[in-house]
Amino acid sequence: MQPTRDPQSQRLLTAYVLLNGHKAFTMFDSGSNTDAVSPDFAHVAKLDVVALDDPVTLQLGCKGSRSRIQFGVNTTLCFGPISETAYLDVANIDRYDLILGTPFLTRHSIVLDFLRRAVVTRGVKVPCFSSDQDSSVLPPLPVVLRKSAKQPALPQLSAARVLPLPV
């Protein structure tokens, strides 16, 4: 029988990261060997998506669970003291707009501090959402788009409520 796990011990580190000036709900994932943005967010944020000459396989943690990465973007990314042009794969990710994996984490010597709910980079502690805040973030982008199919999505996103982050 699987042991009961404390939900607090399973909390992910999430925060907003600016992509092309738009807030992307982001998960920091040290188990991912890629940095990826969702196709829906790429479309709404008007990222310049390009087809890859050589698509690559995205292998997930479960046997037989894989996808193909056929597109990528180069875009401005801002988070805490980091401001750069970053390459991101475009992949069908669930719940999040952006996943920052080991390429980004390694490039910036990032420390994921689960105890203090922060991402530390260049000596700067950038607060992440608490588990309560994380669960109250707006629904995934496709849901927002579906609800506003007759209206432009960008005003919907810019009107999204900003959640205060812990210090």
Q: What is the per-residue pLDDT across 85-143, written as a single tens digit (0 to 9) for each? A: 999 999 998 889 999 999 999 999 999 999 999 999 988 999 998 766 765 665 444 44
The total domain count for the chain is 1
Domain with 125, as residue range(s), is: 10-153
CA quadruple 95, 30, 84, 71: dihedral positive or negative? negative
Considering the entire predicted model, what is its pTM?
0.77
Tokens of 41: 């967010």
What does the pLDDT read at residue 146?
Answer: 37
Q: How far is CA 9 from the centre of its chain?
A: 20
Query: Is position 2 within any domain?
Result: no
The domain that holds 96 is classified in CATH as: 2.40.70.10
Residue 25 in contact with residue 19, Cβ under 8 Å? no
